[in-house]
Chain A
Amino acid sequence: MEQVFNGLQLGMILFLMAVGVTLTFGVMNLINLAHGAILMVGAFFIAFTTSTIPSFGLAVLAALFLVFTLAWLVEVLLVKHLYSKSHLDQVLATFGLSIVLNDGVIMIWGREPLYVNLPSWLEGAVQITPGFSYPLYRLAITGVAILAGLALWLLLTKSRLGMQIRGGAEKREMIGALGVNINFLFTSVFALSAILAALGGIMLGPMISVQSGMGDPLLILSLAVVVIGGVGSLKGALYAAILVGLVDTLGRMLWPVMFGDIVGNIVSNSAIYILMAVVIAIRPSGLFGRRISV
């Protein structure tokens, strides 16, 4: 039962990352391999701010602000040049960015993993049903992720910027036709995706050890989510994220029981990719994706 919650939680974090990926690709045709590194930077920032700012709430805000600044810098210095380039160029440039960030945090903070201390009002467990209690912080994260999802939904459905983003994600040709301020739109989408990823990192910070490269497995998982859900589809990102989160977490309990220790371990790590391969084989553009024309 606890694992179901954990699975949902993983799903929510993956959702935050997957939305960023699907939006940047859908709207701007941009592949961003540095997304995982941004999550990691988010975690490092919160570790940094909580060690210097006594109030946890303020620390979170400060970390978000730092991320926003970084995202803005990255967009202006690097990403801006990538919109018109080929996928290969984008892959390489963002790959370069991710290794710069991964090594950069080592340069600043060293190789030892950092730990984030939770304030006392977030510690402890909550009784859900008699006999089953769940860590408060994990519940809080799920809550935050749901809130973020709702806020995102509101932004996308109720605001003008949101409409432009959605239109662009579905049919890129529309953006030009609508006479939208492209620069502002693109920068906004990139900043949004970075903040979502970093939010994931900020929330993960207190739960796992913060170190270089921690975001990369999540990046790859979120890519699997996007592929399964279909690029450009936000609904797909949500459903696929929850599916992936559950399958991964519950699977890790299940496979070693079914297949024994060694094989079970391998299957636990690969299960999502096997799922992805199956989905691709049946529906090459993902569960909810639009047909990618060749």
Chain B
Amino acid sequence: MNNLVENLPFMKSKRLAFSLVAILILALMVPLFNQPYYTKLIARVCVFAIAAVSLDLIVGFAGMVSLGHAAFFGIGVYCAGILAQFGITSIGLVVPIALVVALVIGGVIGSISLRTSGLYFIFITLAFSQMIFFVAQGLRMFGGDDGFRLPGPTIWFDGISLSQPRVLAYTMIVTLLMVIFVTSRLMSSNFGQVIVASRDNPRKIRSLGIRPYPYQLLLFMISASICALGGVGFANLNEYVSPASISWVQSGEFLFMVILGSAGTIIGPVLGAAAFVCLEQLLSSWTDYWMFYLGIILMLRVIFLKSGLLGLLTRRSQ
């Protein structure tokens, strides 16, 4: 077990490991102080972190830039919402259904998109997420463009529901930890090695006897499912379901989180999501036009920083 923990991709330095544990302890303590604003903030970070980690699998590890992950996020949001409309709110039902729906749609989108690469892949993932956006927008019985209020929060059991900030926060923290654990194991396995090799040199991996497509497709489907998990959390966080969660701006924000933190590291995107939420909160408290400044920060980050936050942290501790 010790050996396993040491081999997780991000556990390269002791100092980093300690800092992460410290952050985790802090995060676990916050919901105990009766401050719903900060508690929900923790939940928000976790929701985005889950989405960012799922995207990192495709962008960082598989080396393919997807501009359409908001679609899977939105699938999670709408699953939570639509099921709630029909009275299904038990977490034991909502989560598996969202996972399966995202898995299947991810399979359909992936099977077509993965036949392309590079520029085409970027465009086609964007296009597919637009299609899903239009479907959501067109569902007039579910609010159409405006969306609808979440009729009932997803619940663990009677009395403990995700509409309670503390419950939401702890649920999301635990979910995030599970996601980090599962994805780390996945990418440390043989499967992960194949994915990375296919990114580094597709020609060579073929000459060794492996066709990348089935592996990439499976990873894409897993990534879609995990992203939907974040979507379920998001629906409960906002207590609202709307197509805005499927916009390409949302996809772009997820990419920002991945690169802000350092792609291909799993922990990096988590840090990126945290940084993004902090930026979001800080900027919007100063000005109405926080997106403007976010865009500038984004451009500056691309031009001036070579690696993301994780890169900065691990370099210092070496």
Interface, chain A (partner B; CB < 8 A):
25, 31, 33, 78, 81-82, 85, 87-89, 91-93, 95-100, 102-104, 106-107, 216, 220, 223-224, 226-227, 231, 262-263, 265-266, 269-270, 273-274, 276-277, 280-281, 284-286, 292, 294
Contact = CB atoms under 8 A, between A and B. Distances in A.
B249 A262 contact: no
B295 A107 contact: no
- Label chain B's interface by main secondary structure: helix
B86 interface: no
A265 B138 CA distance: 7
Contact of B289 (A25, A93, A97, A107): A107
A223 B139 CA distance: 25
Q: Which 10 A-B pairs have the closest CB atoms?
A: A96-B298, A100-B295, A103-B292, A269-B134, A266-B138, A99-B295, A93-B302, A96-B295, A96-B299, A273-B127
Contact of B298 (A82, A95, A107): A95
A216 B130 CA distance: 11
A99 B127 contact: no
A61 to B, nearest CB: 29
A82 B115 CA distance: 27
Contacts, number: 139
A284 B116 contact: yes
Interface of B: 59, 65, 67, 112-113, 115-120, 122-124, 126-128, 130-131, 134-135, 137-140, 202-203, 248-249, 252, 255-256, 259, 263, 289, 291-292, 294-299, 301-303
B123 A92 contact: no
A266 B131 CA distance: 8
Contacts of B296: 96, 100
Contacts of B139: 262
Contact of B140 (A262, A276, A294): A262
Contacts of A78: 299, 303
Contacts of A103: 289, 291-292, 295
